[in-house]
Every structure is written in C-alpha cells, then in structure tokens.
A and B are shown apart, each in its own frame.
Chain A
Amino acid sequence: MNFDALFGDLAQHTVDGLSKGAIYALVALGYTLVYGVLRLINFAHSEIFMVGTFAILGTWSLLGVADNPPIGMAIVYLLIGLVVGALASGATALTVERVAYRRLRRMNAPPLIFLITAIGLSLVLVEIFALWMAGFFSGRGFTENRLVIGIPPLLKQETVLSVAGADITNVQIIMVASALVMLYGLDQFINRTRYGRGVRAVAQSPDTAALMGVHQDRVIMLVFVLGGLMAGAAALLWNMRYGITKFDIGFVVGLKAFTAAVLGGIGNLRGALLGGLLLGVIEVYAATLTRSTWEDVAAFVVLVVVLIFRPTGLLGESLGKARA
C-alpha cells in the first residue's frame, strides 16, 4: 500500500478520477435508462459504446484530421464527432433492441434469456469489429484487426488551471462539464417533456401505461436510443482522452459503468452520474495505492460491497418513482 503516493497528491488523483468517471457516468446512463424501464441489464450496451468510438475514428480519418489542428477546426471536428458518435451508437442501440429483445418481450421470456441473447449479440458485435470493421474504420479495409488503434489527438492536452496543487487539463474540464450538461439535458427531457412522461409511466407500470395510451414499443425504442446517444458522447470523450480504441474496450468500460449505475442506484439518472464520478475516483485511488495492479479489482469489490450493504444504491432506484 503506497499511501504516500496517494495523500501526497490527493487533489490531482481526485481530478483524474473525476474525468475518468465522466465516461463511466455517461455509459451508466444507458444501463440505468433501460433497467428503469425494462428491468433488465442490457449487456450489449458496452458494445454500443465501442461502436461509437470506431464511428468517430472513421469519420475523423475520412475528414483527414491531422494531429492538433487549429482550435476552430478542432471544435468543428469534435462537434461532428459528437453527432456521428451519437448517431452510430443510437442506431446500434436500436438494432440491439430490435434483434435481441423485441421477440423475447412478446414471449414474456424470463430475464435470464434476455441476458443470454444480449451476451450473444455482444459477442457478435465484438467479433464483427475484430474481424472486419476495426480494419475498415482505421482505413485498412475489411481485414482482421485485433490491435489497439490510435486516434489522432484533436486537442492538445495542456494544463489550464491549477487548484490546490492539482493540474487540470482542458480535456478534463470538457469531460466533466459535458457529462454534467448531458445529464442535465436528459434529466430535463425525462422530467419535463411529454416523451419523458411516457418513459416514466412505462417504468412505473407498463400495463397501466399501455391502457392510458402510451405506446410501449415506442417508449422502449426511445429509451434505447437515449442510452445510445449518451454512449456516443462517452465514446467521443474516450477518444479525446485516451486517443486509442480496440474491438474489446467495451467490456471493461461497460462492466465499470454498470457498477457505477448500481452504485448510484440503478434506474436513477442522477445516481448514475454520482456513481460514475465516485467510481472513477475510487479507481484512481486504488490504482495509486497498489501501483495499478489491483485497479480493475477495485470496481468489482465496490460492486459486491454495494450490493450486499445497499442493493438499491446510494440514491435509491427510481426512474419510475420520479415526480410526475
């Protein structure tokens, strides 16, 4: 246990953790939305995120993005990336719903069957990318590519702010800020619009909602698309921060985002944000304490501990219970 390394630079580790947690938070929103409405874990959500990272990479290489373009161009590219990533992930989410879930919902299959189809679909998506699409999006044609693929850096990561001994980079600010903005937008959408009311109604009681004239299938599709949009935004942040992608990055990110969703209270939008940021911080602390050998274990330990002592998460499960 390397306590000196942790406490000597606590503020810095916290900032690193928060920015890492922003990605988890955005991906966690997808799990939380689907869980809130359908009461099932969309295991393929991690792949929805992975598809986003590749779609953004593909678009950028198509546009001929060079390393560190001028700031105005960089912003344009980032916005294009956001749109493309959100669209690609949203479309993938919709496909997942159509292929893996719709028929099973009609059959009223037990939840385990949903989970297994989702695992199967997740394997299929991963392998499609490993065998063909990863090569395609990185401009090598439809060839097998199981390697780490680099993404051109758009923003030079530089320190813009120093608070309490922590150097905060521009990318980190963008990450945390955009997670907050996305959550705020989603929260408003769910709580204030007509569509949002439909989502909450189905979450509370699918049968009653259907009797009241809410189109269940449409609401479920909407929920998947919203989750996909958030995953697309997360994919953009990932590309900016880490500058690499790979066919199997989804698995670990997805598992951690799911942990974040459970930590905050699954089905609870604000809980997902809180859980994500918290998990990011916990993970960076754990990595510092153990010289990063036990980093991945930390998330699982958190998950198990939360589920044992507070299975409803920190903020409690809601979505359905939210005010009308």
Chain B
Amino acid sequence: MTEALRQFNERRRHVLGGMGDRWRALPRWQRWLTLLAGVAFLYYLPFLGDIPGTNLIIPGLDWFRTDSIDGGANWAGVLFVCALYVLVAIGLNVVIGLAGLLDLGYVGFYAVGAYSVALFGSADSPVVGALQDQFGLSSDWAIAWAICIPIALAFSLVAGVLLGWPTLRLRGDYLAIVTLGFGEIIRIVAKNSGWAGEAQGVPGIPGPEGPPSPDNKVFGLLDIKPWYWLALSVVLLMVLLVRRLEHSRVGRSWLAIREDEDAAAVMGVYPFKFKLWAFAIGAALGGFSGLLFASRSAFIQPETFNVQLSILFVAMVVVGGSGNMAGVAVGAFLLAYLPERFRDFSEYRVLAFGLALVLIMLLRPQGLLPSRRRTRELQDRAKEAPVNVA
C-alpha cells in the first residue's frame, strides 16, 4: 500500500514537478495568450455549459454547475461569492503569506468595508438619517455608491492601522489572539450600537446603479452575472496591483521579515513599518470585498461577520498555499465552491474545513499550490530541528 502510494507520488512529481519551470520557459507571447484565454474563460464561467446567444449546450460541463443539483444555489451567485473570497484571500495573503502575520480577525475588516457602504450609502441607515436631519436633506438622500468606495477603503485602511499600531510589536502568536478579539469587538460593537443599526442590521444598501430596486437594468436583484463580472474585474485589477507590490522593495521587505525578522532588521528593514503596511493593505482589500458583498446583498447584519468566517478566510489562504497568489485563489475558490456543489455534505462543511486544516498542515504545510520559496523555508527549518531523544 505504502509502496503504491510512493510510486504514485513519484509519478505525480515527475508530471507536475517542473510545471513552474516549464511555464516560465515558454515564450512570452505564449504565456500571454494562455493567460488571456484563462481570463476569457473566467468571464465566460457564468454560462458554463451553454453557448451564449444560441440554444446549444456543451455536454458534460453542466455537471460542475451548482444549479445542476436539486435545490442547488444560483450558479452566478456562487461564482460571485467565489470572486469575493478570492479577493479576501489575496488581501489576507499579503498579511499571512507575504509578511507572515497570522490575522484571525480579518472578518473585522470585511465588516468595516461592508458597514461603510451600508452606513453612508443607504438612505435608511442611522448615519445617513442623522446627516439628513442635520442638513435638512430629503429622506431618500444618501452618498453615491462610487463615493462610498473610497470611503470604505479609507475606513478599512484606518482600521488596519489602528489595530496594527499597538499590536504589531507583539509576538506572532499573541497577534493571532488579539486580532481574533478585534474581529469579535467589531461584531459586538455593530450589534450593540444604535448608529450601526444594532442586531437588525442595515437595509437598502446601494449598488453601482443606486439603491436596490426592480428598475435597475444591470445590477439587479435577480440576475447576478453582472455582479460576478464586476467582482471578477476587481479581482483581476487587484491581482495586477498586488503582483507589482510583491516584486517591489516593499514585497521583498515582507519576505525578509517573514523569514527572519532580526536579520531583516539588521539589514536595515524596519519590521514594524512594513508589517503595518502589510496590515493596512490587507485590510483595504478585505474592506473592498466587504463592500461588494454588502452592495450585492443590499442588506447586512452583524451576525454575518462571525469568527467562523474569519477562520474560513485563514483556511482559504493556508489550504491554497500561503505566499502564492495563484494558490490562495485556488484555495478560496475550492472552499467557496465545494460546499455549494456538494450540498448533501454541507452539514459537515465545518468538520471538513477542520480536517483539511489539520491534514494539510501535517502532511503538506506549504499548502496545495505552494510558493517555492516558502517550501524551501520549511525544509530548511526541518534541518535545524532541535535535539530529539526518541
């Protein structure tokens, strides 16, 4: 049995081992063409199995859709959630994967983004209500969605800095618990504060076309495809931006801090400053994702932003392969998609997350699709293992 497994693993290595190298060895135009085809496929995904504009179907592909099972969820809706989670994973990857800080309260930033657009963009929110009274505005006045985006980004960025400022000087494991507490505090504050709509939440959150109404032509309530394309476009844009950042001076500093903070400090990288950057940028991305979530749902309430969601976010990054953007995107997609496609097992989804976390950390701590640098880092540490009296 073990022999068969070993042989399988050998073969797998043989086939998949040099993938990255072979990819990098391709001529540039071939890589670009493949990437373009990939992006086009991502935009096509909501139609999966159909050929738009005709009645033709491509047999077999239908199986992957979540609405192919009884009581399955809207396929475009699932894709939209996948895109949101990919965005979250990219943001959290900056914090966990690049800078090496375990943030267990990431849902807090997601909530800050969601609440920003809810409180400033919805005509029914307590904050907008107060502004209306103050300045004698009409009862359907609210801040436009496009202006809510910078507001949400600014708020989540500031939240990241506020949380990071006192806590980033702590040891890594303390940081994890403090951030866990932070996520809970955000939820409890939203639940208990009149200005945040308390436990009932905030309705009437606008989208790109204004507040939710049946007259909306593109970003409506029924057809979720445009929402998916919007989220996908945001994801692609952020992938480009974060990629640039990763290969910049800032990105190299993050890697240096993750691998050895003291050595990095000696070389003139000020760890605190770059950790704070990682935190703030990660927070802003999480906030953006929260904003899209709130706009699409048109209604939010504090209980959505619970610890389980935070842990799910961490799981996406870790399962996918922290440090590698393609890896975390795959992780996010899998954890959002699989429970929807295999609904029969949805009762066991949390159990499965837990098992996946344990098994992957024990057997493949670098994640499913790891960054090569991180893999080497872990192998390197194993050599330095302390004295063992077995």
Q: Which residues of A contact B (CB under 8 A)?
A: 40-41, 99-100, 103-104, 106-113, 115-117, 119-124, 126-128, 131, 144, 206-207, 210-211, 215-217, 251, 255, 258, 262, 293-294, 296-297, 299-301, 303-304, 307-308, 311
Contacts and interface: CB of A to CB of B under 8 A. Distances in A.
B192 A119 contact: no
Nearest to B258: A110
B311 A41 contact: no
A293 B189 CA distance: 9
Given A122-B354, A300-B182, A308 B192 contact: no
17 contacts: A103-B362, A107-B382, A108-B385, A110-B378, A116-B102, A116-B314, A116-B361, A119-B314, A120-B356, A123-B353, A123-B354, A206-B386, A255-B180, A294-B192, A301-B185, A308-B166, A311-B174
B311 A119 contact: yes
Interface of B: 96, 100, 102, 104, 166-167, 170, 172-174, 176-178, 180-182, 184-185, 188-189, 192, 307, 311, 314-315, 318, 347-348, 350-351, 353-358, 361-362, 365, 378, 381-382, 384-390
A40 B172 CA distance: 10
Given A106-B388, A131-B347, A300-B181, 5 more contacts: A104-B361, A123-B357, A217-B390, A304-B166, A304-B181
Chain B interface mostly helix, strand, loop or mixed?
helix
A146 B347 CA distance: 12
B184 A300 contact: yes
B386 A207 contact: yes
A124 B355 contact: yes
A27 B204 CA distance: 45
Nearest to B192: A293
Contacts of B311: 119, 123
A121 B355 CA distance: 7
Contact of B358 (A100, A106, A303): A100
A107 B381 contact: yes
A255 B177 contact: yes
Contacts of A123: 311, 350-351, 353-354, 357
A99 B188 contact: no
B357 A108 contact: no
B365 A107 contact: yes
B354 A124 contact: yes
Contacts of B184: 296-297, 300
A144 B351 CA distance: 13
A294 B177 contact: no
Best-surrounded residue of A106, A116, A119, A296 (most CB of chain B within 10 A): A116
B185 A115 contact: no
Nearest to A218: B389
B381 A110 contact: yes
In order of increasing CB-CB distance, the 3 nearest A-B pairs are A120-B357, A123-B354, A300-B181
Given A144-B347, A217-B390, A124 B358 contact: yes
Contacts of B365: 104, 107, 109, 113
Contact of B388 (A120, A216, A258): A216
A99 B355 CA distance: 11
Contacts of A121: 354, 358
Nearest to B381: A108
